[in-house]
Amino acid sequence: MNKIMTTEAARHGLFRYLMCALVLSLLVGANIDNAKADKTAIGGYDPVAYFEMLEAVKGVESISYKWLGEEWRFANEEHKALFSTDPMRYMPTFGGYCSYDETLSEFRNHRHRVNPTAWRIVDGKLYLFSSEKTANHAVPTEKWDKVKEGLSQ
């Protein structure tokens, strides 16, 4: 069996590989905003509760605030008032996308739906994750500026 490839055969194989990779990346990219499919932020959980109550608390539909095109829900009027005064203080880092996925986004083009009960507060910032397993990983933040720019468009 001939184990030496010609340059033409190698190029043809590389082209097929790249085309498959392109098709797969487009298919995965179609789901990139699955975390933002509806306009209710962070699954309807109260972003202020993470800081004030140190737990994930489901917000009430009747106590909501529209910000950045999404409906933010709160457990009580006090939390709504705190959020409306300074939303950036309570907004999840990476815009509510899974923090673990965002740190790997250079390597894969996929974002998971967050599980609002999988969370951490690190240095006064809220990080949400797709699972408790991913929440146990380190939380780098150097890519947040790029993500934030994309959210404002």
Give the tens place of pLDDT for each residue, 130-147. 766 665 554 455 554 555
**Distance of alpha carbon 126 from alpha carbon 135, whole angstroms:** 11
Structure tokens given for 18:
């790249």
pLDDT average, residue stretch 111-119: 76
Q: Is residue 8 domain-resident?
A: no
| The total number of structural domains that make up the chain | 1
DSSP lists the bridge partners of residue 74 as: 60
Per-residue pLDDT band for 14 (boundaries 50, 70, 90) equals low
Q: Is residue 119 domain-resident?
A: yes
Q: Is residue 125 domain-resident?
A: yes
> What does the pLDDT read at residue 133?
63
**pLDDT value at 98 more than 80:** no
SS3 content of the chain, % helix, strand, coil (to 5): 45, 20, 35
Q: Is residue 5 domain-resident?
A: no
> What does the pLDDT read at residue 2?
44
Per-residue pLDDT band for 7 (boundaries 50, 70, 90) equals low
Per-residue pLDDT band for 1 (boundaries 50, 70, 90) equals very low
The pTM of the whole model exceeds 0.75: no
Q: Is residue 6 domain-resident?
A: no
Q: How many helices (H) and strands (E) does the chain have?
A: 7, 4
Provide the percentage of residues in the chain whose pLDDT is more than 90: 29
Q: Is residue 12 domain-resident?
A: no
**pLDDT value at 128 more than 50:** yes
> What does the pLDDT read at residue 67?
92
CB contact at 8 A, 71 and 64:
yes
**Distance of alpha carbon 62 from alpha carbon 11, whole angstroms:** 60
Q: Is residue 138 domain-resident?
A: yes
**Structural domain for 49, as ranges:** 33-151
